[in-house]
Amino acid sequence: MTGGDAILRSLEAEGVEVMFGIPGGAIMPTYDAMARGTTVRHVLARHEQGAGHMAQGYARASGRVGVAIATSGPGATNLVTPIADAWMDSTPLVCITGQVRSSLIGTDAFQECDITGITMPIVKHSWLVDDVRDIPAVMKAAFHVARTGRCGPVLVDVPRDLQEATLDYSYPAEVELPGWRPPTKVHPLQVRDAGRAIAHARKPVLYVGGGTLNGNACAELLRLAETGSLPVVTTLMGKSAFPEAHELHFGWPGMHGPKWSNLAMNTCDVLVAIGARFDDRVTGKLSAFAPGATIVHLDIDPAEISKLRDADIPVVGPLATAVDALADEVAAQRAEGAPVPEAWLAQLRAWRDEFPLVYESSDEWLKPQQVLEALQRLTAGTDTIVTTGVGQHQMWAMQYVRSERPRSFITSGGLGTMGYGIPAAIGAKAARPEATVVCVDGDGCFQMTAQELVTAVLEDLPVVVVLVNNAHLGMVTQWQDMFLDGRRSHVHLTAQVPDYARLAEAYGGVGMVVDDAARLEPALAEALALGRTVVVDCRVDPAEQVFPMIPPGAAALEMLDHPSADTTVEARAL
């Protein structure tokens, strides 16, 4: 068979069901192989960045490896942002790119670029195939590396002439990568020490990151929390790893987390980081973060241990195994008389009551928080996946939309990629066609990938876009107002141009405009019930800002509250 056929047979052997991409000259032989037949569904994106984010959304919703495919040159470079995003958020991704013919490499041929060199800092590994007979082994290795250890993106670059060349195809049963040996078990003494520290803590907190989802450790996390009566805070990337209606869930830490969550994190005596990396958006001023706490750090990636905050007790290994073993150890300690931290849990509940999320209602404007509250009411108890873009709307979605099932909240965390929401929603719908998929987007993000609405329509992957339209690049505006003396520079987008509802209709979807509270819930209910791709353009107060907020460079306990609320934060009764 040809090298193009071999690529497709390898995808089939890996159990791939969907891939996302756009054809072009250097990848054309592989697309010709698709025309001859494959069991893998191909979703035709309108931009390679959209294809990459679709593959990410698919991976995040399913827990499987996402696949994106593009041609050489600009096709490949358009994948750089999704690859970087997947690198930062540890999303398993296999990107397959075409390359110019082998004889032309290094000659600055038409649409040639060194994509393996360009992406070297942001992939787990990359391959430039130089022998058609290597394609099966390279594909096997690519999937293995993407999904084992700490998940992440890989890239396979295949010259056009190798896609046309022939080989005797045989897919290898095993992977031969002597240099790739991720941890497969945990050390029992590390688990014992961690369990004892947690069980005997007066004020423990489980600080849960996205690695818990990537490591499929959500059931084990729930058992650990319930076994030890341990409070849980989940990061933006960890949102949905723990049911948020659970009595032991205490919010989301960091720059726009509620006060009670940041108080919990920063006044605890044992902080248990599970698949989290002490990101600056969580810690604020690192030297002032969780002062005096004993740090227990569980991670599959040993490079993360003590990278930013020294770990007093490291536990390295697969998180499902590590958290399960830790639950056993905590249960044993409780059986031997280790006390349940009842006073600490009571304090956290008191703080949650004392410092609620607040905003001022308005007779003139629809408030963005109202939009997310209405969405929460309408989707509560349903099989709904929420994706977001990046900015103010993302933070309001974190605060006001509850996630009860793993992999039901998908967003761009580490890279903060605007335009992520719509294509990620399409990828999530391809992974979970039975689920309702909602993209909470801002008007700035929307305009970066709105063309993918036609992909949703034509590929029969309907998504509902709830547009929090404040006519501005909202988060930039907030920072300019708060920290640059109100000097606004190039952030006004206008709410009327373009007409987002008519744009949705032009792409074959349904468009709605909502500018008052009375119309909000009926419109959202109608959109969710249609089973079509819908854009609900919610015109919200352009002056509304996201609170609470930890100012850049400040300690987590120096948070600012909404102007209408009590601005005093005291770590009292500790």
The CA distance from 381 to 362, in Å, is 29
Same-domain status, 237 and 346 = yes
- Would you state the pLDDT for residue 563? 84
Q: Say if CB 58 and CB 20 are below 8 A apart.
A: yes
- Would you state the pLDDT for residue 572? 36
- Among candidate residues 47, 10, 16, the one with its CA nearest the CA of residue 30: 10
Same-domain status, 83 and 116 = yes
Q: Give me 402's structure tokens.
A: 């509850």
The CA distance from 388 to 65, in Å, is 20
Residues comprising the chain, all counted: 574
The last residue of a domain, from among 299, 326, 354 = 354
Maximum pairwise Cα distance, the chain: 73
Same-domain status, 148 and 266 = no
The CA distance from 375 to 516, in Å, is 15
Alpha helices in 358-473 (DSSP H): 368-379, 392-400, 421-431, 443-449, 453-458
The CA distance from 489 to 25, in Å, is 41
The pTM for the full model equals 0.96
Q: Say if CB 63 and CB 218 are below 8 A apart.
A: no
- Would you state the pLDDT for residue 179? 86
The last residue of a domain, from among 354, 388, 422 = 354
544 lies in some domain: no
CATH number assigned to the domain comprising residue 414? 3.40.50.970
406 lies in some domain: yes
Same-domain status, 425 and 460 = yes
- Would you state the pLDDT for residue 566? 55
The CA distance from 129 to 112, in Å, is 15
Residue 400 sits at the vertex; the CA angle it makes with 270 and 494, to the nearest 5 degrees, is 130
436, amino acid identity:
T
Q: What's the half-sphere exposure (Cβ side, CA atoms, 13 Å) at 204?
A: 27
Inter-axis angle of helices 80-89 and 48-62, nearest 10: 20
> Helices then strands (H, E): number in the chain?
23, 17
The last residue of a domain, from among 149, 164, 179 = 164
Helix, coil or strand: residue 409: strand
Q: Give me 522's structure tokens.
A: 């009926």
290 lies in some domain: yes
Same-domain status, 23 and 80 = yes
Same-domain status, 374 and 316 = no
Q: Across-strand partners of 511?
A: 535
Residue 496 burial by Cβ neighbours in a 10 Å radius (0-12, 13-18, 19+): exposed
42 lies in some domain: yes
Same-domain status, 337 and 378 = no
CATH number assigned to the domain comprising residue 296? 3.40.50.1220
325 lies in some domain: yes
Domain extent, residue 514, equals 368-539
Same-domain status, 62 and 149 = yes
Question: Could you give the number of structural domains in the chain?
Answer: 3
Same-domain status, 377 and 399 = yes
559 lies in some domain: no
Same-domain status, 44 and 141 = yes
574 lies in some domain: no
547 lies in some domain: no
User: How would you write the pLDDT of the chain (574 residues) with one tens digit per residue?
Assistant: 999 999 999 999 999 999 999 999 999 999 999 999 999 999 999 999 999 999 999 999 999 999 999 999 999 999 999 999 999 999 999 999 999 999 999 999 999 999 999 999 999 999 999 999 999 999 999 999 999 999 999 999 999 999 999 999 999 999 989 889 999 999 999 999 999 999 999 999 999 999 999 999 999 999 999 999 999 999 999 999 999 999 999 999 999 999 999 999 999 999 999 999 999 999 999 999 999 999 999 999 999 999 999 999 999 999 999 999 999 999 999 999 999 999 999 999 999 999 999 999 898 999 999 999 999 999 999 999 999 999 999 999 999 999 999 999 999 999 999 999 999 999 999 999 999 999 999 999 999 999 999 999 999 999 999 999 999 999 999 999 999 999 999 999 998 899 999 999 999 999 999 999 999 999 999 999 999 999 999 999 999 999 999 998 899 889 898 887 754 444 333 3
Q: State yes or no: cis peptide before 406, omega within 30 of 0.
A: no
Same-domain status, 345 and 434 = no
Q: Is 96 left (phi over 0), alpha (psi -120 to 50) or beta?
A: beta
Same-domain status, 84 and 232 = no
The CA distance from 25 to 101, in Å, is 11
- Among candidate residues 449, 468, 453, the one with its CA nearest the CA of residue 537: 468
* Residue 2 DSSP label: B
- Would you state the pLDDT for residue 567? 47
* Residue 185 DSSP label: S
